[in-house]
Amino acid sequence: MTAAHTITVNLGDRSYPIVIGAGLLNGGFDLSKFVNGPDCLIVSNEIVAPLYRDRILPNLAGKAVTTIDLPDGESYKSVASLQAVIDRLVESGANRDTTVIALGGGVVGDIAGFAAACYMRGVAFIQVPTTLLAQVDASVGGKTGVNHPEGKNLIGAFHQPQVVMIDTDTLKSLPDRELKAGLAEVIKYGVICDVEFFAWLEDNMQALLEKEPPALARAIQRSCELKATVVAEDEHESGHRVILNFGHTFGHAIENCQGYGEWLHGEAVATGMIMAAELSGIGDGDVERLRVLLQKAGLPVSPPAIDGQDWLRTMGMDKKVKQKQLRFVLLRALGDAYLATSYDKDKLQQIIGASD
């Protein structure tokens, strides 16, 4: 086990640590001190559970452990899966001092966190993310929820974890496509608020693709630092936190229109970032830098064929919409994102019309 690095998400009495290191599973970090009562429920899926569920048990010494394994994939991020987790809590006789533990990627974390937010009006939960996307994004910040057929994450709640434990060794088993999808969210942080980190990614993308531990550790740590800072400023996304959604208005529409799971979230966000950068009206050179970096990461940069009206209908369910008007996170320049209340509507039609 290497020395762990801790980042604190400062939210007053809801503050919590993000602990990052190699070898934290198998008892390398004591999770039991974050389990308030005598028992916990580990929520995982059919892919992750065989790999890591036994390895997390030494981190929970002295606690009674119940488990549930969900089907794998974005298409199962549903009310039915939420119901299954709540049913398991009821079957196990869980009380308000039970802790829900999410062991898996972003889908598992979102479902488990939302179940914890709902059960008995709220019980504690812990995030143990095992994918790059979950480690740098989904596990931090307290967003939980499930999808609706008409839109992504339309049903959910803010519910902060007690702790986020990131064992970087779990990335050794991560398929290449999932790794690349996670890199989209890493790149996003550089695009929206840290151009020096963006430049570092340009120089180190091959090392990240080859899963070199020092490069991955730095990328995860910096991503978590940036997200923790933004979340501490705006926990419930009423202002500045919205910049974390750069590329997501287009990206969520791609996921919905193509069918959840056909495009991975990070793949859709990668293309969405290019579309948002084009809508921003920034210099062609900056758009090209972003395009080249995403291509280096093995990510798509062009949208699938979607009818223009389907784009508008699906984006109309975006959570940034106010008074029935679309709003987008755009760029003044690389490293400088903002929420635009006005934008070039002709340019938007051109961007979505290109994929008609």
- DSSP letters along 166-231, please? EEGGGGGG--HHHHHHHHHHHHHHHHHH-HHHHHHHHHHHHHHHTT-HHHHHHHHHHHHHHHHHHH
Is 237 catalytic? The answer is yes
Is 77 an active-site residue?
no
Which residue in the list 88, 180, 248, 291 is annotated as catalytic?
248
How far is C-alpha 229 from the chain's CA centre?
A: 16
Do 290 and 247 contact (CB within 8 A), yes or no? no
Sheet with 124-129, strands from edge to edge, namely 5-9, 16-21, 164-167, 124-129, 99-104, 39-45, 64-70
Q: One of 159, 241, 291, 327 is an active-site residue; which one?
A: 241
Counting Cβ atoms within 10 Å, is residue 34 exposed (0-12), middle (13-18) or buried (19+)?
buried
Q: What is the CA radius of gyration of the chain?
A: 20
Selecting among 74, 178, 235, 237, the annotated active-site residue is 237
Q: Which of 159, 222, 252, 289 is catalytic?
A: 252
Which residue is catalytic, options 45, 152, 178, 185? 185
Calculate the dihedral angle through the C-alpha atoms of 24, 27, 29, 31, rounding to the nearest 10 degrees.
Answer: 120
**Is 241 annotated as catalytic?**
yes
Q: Tell me phi and psi for residue 281, to 5 degrees.
A: 80, 20
- Cβ atoms of 197 and 215 within 8 Å: the answer is no
| Residue 225 annotated among the catalytic residues of the structure | no
> Is 95 one of the annotated active-site residues of the chain?
no
Q: Is 245 a catalytic residue?
A: yes
Which residue among the candidates 265, 289, 291, 327 is catalytic per the annotation?
A: 265
- Candidates 33, 121, 322, 324; catalytic one: 121
Q: In 10 A of CB 20, how many CB atoms? A: 21
Distances (CA, A) of 47 to 69, 174, 331: 9, 11, 38
> 227, 289, 291, 327: which is the annotated catalytic residue?
227
- Nearest to 188, CA basis, from 63, 327, 62, 294: 294
Q: Where are the alpha helices (DSSP H) in the chain?
A: 49-56, 79-91, 106-118, 132-133, 176-193, 195-209, 213-233, 248-258, 265-280, 284-296, 308-315, 345-353
Taking the C-alpha atoms of residue 132 and residue 138, their distance in angstroms, rounded to an integer, is 9
Annotated catalytic residue, options 77, 143, 222, 327: 143
CB 159 within 8 A of CB 139: no
Q: Report, as residue numbers or ranges, the catalytic residues.
A: 121, 143, 185, 227, 237, 241, 245, 248, 252, 265
